[in-house]
Amino acid sequence: MQLNATRRQFVRGSLGGLFALALQHDAQHLFSGQTAKTTKRCVVLWMGGGPSQMETFDPKPGTTTGGPTTSIKTAVPGIEIASNLPEIAKRMDGLSIIRSLSSPEGDHDRGQHFLHTGYPFVQAFPRPTLGAIVSHENPRSDFPLFVSIGARGLGPAYMGPDHAPFAVENPAEAVELITGLRKQRGSLRLLDGFSSTFDREHLDTGLERRRASLQKVERMLTTPFVKALDVAKASESDRARYGESDFGQRCLLARRLLESGVKFVEVTHDGWDTHDDNFNSVARLCSEIDGPWSALLDDLKASGMWDDTVVVWMGEFGRTPQINGNTGRDHFPNVTPVVLGGGGLQGGIVVGQTNETGLQIAEGAVTVPDLFATLLAALSIDPQHEFRTEFGAIALASDHGKPITALL
């Protein structure tokens, strides 16, 4: 088997993710139930590293902690955000800001787990990421319903490996893979015929799953999903509006995937861990997301998908109002910024507020489980839904969170 020397590994993940994917042979049968219900779509823009709320959606100009960051008016009277995000400011009527979300997890891995699953990390009890839940709560399909762009994505835990994210680290490589596989279609059909005797003569769930996976790969090759992956085929105007940057390409890919039927897409943008040179770094990072994010919002509205697609912008935690010795801000989970919109959620409002310096939450404190309950409800999933893990425990979709009624 010749391994092309220039082929980089297709799935090269970010480190992190401390899950135990505990499986028993019989788990398959517990969770392979066909569901007639569907959920809304969801796109999560994940700001890896912990985005500074002070330089994005909760600026404090003219205070001891505000730094040089200035604020600008938005399309919503009374709401101002940092001047770093001018295009988003114009679209504020569709988005809502949560300024009073507090988390206890200041460690990257633990924070990432918490904001992806709604549960604190416990080694003995793996929890599924939101994308896996959404994938599970939709009817089976021939293509992945949960895609992670730009990072490997967190695991499905007790939802089972069928709901693991399809990871697209690099859109160009994904296209290479699909093109390569298309060439093998004849061989894949031959393979199916050849293995059928062995498959018939042996009884094993692993064997069945592998056969099912092979068939899934074959069927996937003719789905719209595969065409959507080919970002290079996008129109000139699309490529112009999203730009040629990594994040731009990823957002364009996200939109195409959502259009083709994928239910949950997570787009990662790294670099937000600004312990050093915070102001310049965040300004640059914001300029990288401002355009593509706006293009995504515009397209979702124009194509009529807006009311069925929940858009979430967040990271693992916020950053300290106090500026450190390297002109940076450190981890501050006490204030974790989240922006939501679409999917029937209320837009153009602010939930809660921090005090003048941003060091404390002044009113409307909510927790990450509350956020999750809100997201689940918006996606048409009951937050009280009880899943059963493979070791027999009951797992609630949300960790006793209370949905934020102002948003629903």
Partner 1 sequence: MIRLLLFLTLGYMAVTAQAADVPPSMIDQLVRSAWQEHSVEPAPLCSDELFLRRLTLDLFGRIPTLEERQDFLAQPDRAATIDRLLAGEEFSRAWADLWTTQLYGYADDSIDRDMLTQWLEEQLRSRTPYDRIAQQLVSSTGQSAFDGPVNFLLRYPEEPVVKVSRAFLGVRLDCARCHDHPFDRWTQDDFKRMNRFFEGMERQEVSSGNVRLVDVVREVEPADRPRFLTGAEPQTTQWRAEFGLFMTRSRPFARNFANRIWYHLLGRGIIHPVDDVSRDNHASLPAVLEWLADEAGRSQFDIRHMFRLICNSRAYQVQSIATHGDAERLRLFAVRSIKPLTPEQWHASMSVAMGRESKPEERMEFVRTFYGDALDGDFSSSWEYRETVQGLMSRLVETVDPPTSKTEDLFLRILGREPTSEERIFCQGRNAREVCFVLLHSSEFAFNH
Q: Does 111 bind partner 1 (CB under 8 A)?
A: no
DSSP state of 229: H
Query: How far apart (Å, rounded) are the C-alpha atoms in residues 46 and 295?
Result: 17
Q: Does 302 bind partner 1 (CB under 8 A)?
A: no
353 burial via Cβ count (<10 Å: 0-12, 13-18, 19+): middle
Residue 134 CB neighbour total at 10 angstroms: 28
SS3 379: coil
In the complex with partner 1, which residue's Cβ is closer, 96 or 389? 389
82 - beta bridge partners?
71
Part in contact with partner 1 (CB under 8 A); list of ranges 46-54, 122-130, 231-239, 293-301 = 122-130
| Shortest distance, position 330 Cβ to partner 1, whole Å | 20
Q: Does 73 bind partner 1 (CB under 8 A)?
A: no
Part in contact with partner 1 (CB under 8 A); list of ranges 194-202, 260-268, 274-282, 300-308 = 194-202
Q: How many residues bind partner 1 (CB under 8 A)?
A: 65
Q: Which one among 30, 72, 175, 181 touches partner 1, defined by CB under 8 A?
A: 181
In the complex with partner 1, which residue's Cβ is closer, 166 or 317? 166
Q: Does 5 bind partner 1 (CB under 8 A)?
A: no
Residue 378: what residue type? A
In the complex with partner 1, which residue's Cβ is closer, 232 or 393? 393
Q: Which one among 72, 75, 175, 188 touches partner 1, defined by CB under 8 A?
A: 188
In the complex with partner 1, which residue's Cβ is closer, 24 or 303? 24
Q: Does 6 bind partner 1 (CB under 8 A)?
A: no
Q: Which one among 140, 210, 219, 227 touches partner 1, defined by CB under 8 A?
A: 210
Beta-carbon contacts of residue 189 (< 8 Å; ≥ 6 apart)? 218
| Shortest distance, position 393 Cβ to partner 1, whole Å | 7
Q: Which 7-46 positions form the footprint of partner 1 (CB under 8 A)?
A: 9-13, 15, 17-25
Query: How far apart (Å, rounded) are the C-alpha atoms in residues 210 and 208?
Result: 5
Instruction: Retrieve residue 380's tokens.
Output: 């048409």
Instruction: Retrieve residue 225's tokens.
Output: 């999903």
In the complex with partner 1, which residue's Cβ is closer, 142 or 298? 142
Q: Does 201 bind partner 1 (CB under 8 A)?
A: yes
Instruction: Retrieve residue 243's tokens.
Output: 């730009």
Element (H, E) at 90: helix 86-90
Query: How far apart (Å, rounded) are the C-alpha atoms in residues 378 and 248?
Result: 26
155 burial via Cβ count (<10 Å: 0-12, 13-18, 19+): buried
Q: Does 106 bind partner 1 (CB under 8 A)?
A: no
Q: CA torsion, points 296, 111, 381, 76, in degrees to nearest 10? A: -40
Beta strand extents in 33-135 (DSSP E only):
41-48, 71-73, 80-82, 95-98, 101-102
| Shortest distance, position 26 Cβ to partner 1, whole Å | 10
**Pairing between β-strand 146-149 and β-strand 361-363 as defined by DSSP bridges:** unpaired
Q: Does 284 bind partner 1 (CB under 8 A)?
A: no
| Shortest distance, position 79 Cβ to partner 1, whole Å | 37
Q: Does 123 bind partner 1 (CB under 8 A)?
A: yes
In the complex with partner 1, which residue's Cβ is closer, 1 or 36? 1
Q: Does 75 bind partner 1 (CB under 8 A)?
A: no
Residue 219 CB neighbour total at 10 angstroms: 12
Which candidate, 139, 223, 209, 235, places its Cα nearest to that of 181? Answer: 223
**Footprint of partner 1 on this chain (CB under 8 A)?**
1-4, 9-13, 15, 17-25, 122-125, 144, 152-155, 161, 164-167, 177, 180-181, 184, 186-188, 190-191, 193-195, 198-207, 209-211, 213-214, 216-217, 391-393
